[in-house]
Structure 1
């Protein structure tokens, strides 16, 4: 019986380890979720009247670091004037890497 208990324990250990590995694996943020996060982070500073995002991630290098990113833009209308802003968001975390007025 002890060998059976040992084998069950080992099997459960491997199964738990695999489940944790899969749960911790780096998954990308969806472009929709990334756009939503950008809008939430910026909306308290500027009124957003429109937005867009590229659906396919692309390679981006900043400060000698490589990222997979989504590119997108926001438009804001204040006092009858429309302003455009472009952004770059890390596809893995949803962190804004760059935000520029045009």
Structure 2
């Protein structure tokens, strides 16, 4: 094996390692996930407060496995009590998988 093949093999391995590592870390941050949820929900709700769990959890929704962030928000209208909602949001795509009034 000559030096050219050795260097080419090393560079190929480094590129493949980088691509695999990048693919594994392509999930949303919890802050970004909460921001996306607030943008979507504010079209229908008057959000007065929100929270999110910073560590994603593995769960199943409708029998399908997901890595999700759990969180919630409060919605209130003038002159009425706040209504609380809890949500599950896909940690990879930011898709709201579940929204439940509590």
TM-score between both structures, scaled by the size of structure 2: 0.79
TM-score between both structures, scaled by the size of structure 1: 0.79
Check 1:14–1:57 CA distance in 2 against 1; reply closer, same or farther (3 A cut).
closer
Q: For 1:45, what is the secondary structure of its paired residue? A: coil
Q: CA deviation at 1:98?
A: 0.3
Deviation string 1:32-72 (CA, Å, 9 cap, x unpaired) is 22222211111122221111122343342222112232221
Q: For 2:47, what is the secondary structure of its paired residue? A: coil
**Residue 63 (structure 2) aligns with:** 64
Preserved contact between residue 26 and residue 92 of structure 1 (Cα < 8 Å): no
Q: How many residues align?
A: 101
Please provide the CA RMSD for this pair: 2.1
**Residue 11 (structure 1) aligns with:** 10
**Residue 91 (structure 1) aligns with:** 91
Q: For 1:38, what is the secondary structure of its paired residue? A: helix
Show structure 2 runs of 5+ residues with no match: none
Show structure 1 runs of 5+ residues with no match: none
Q: CA deviation at 1:84?
A: 1.6
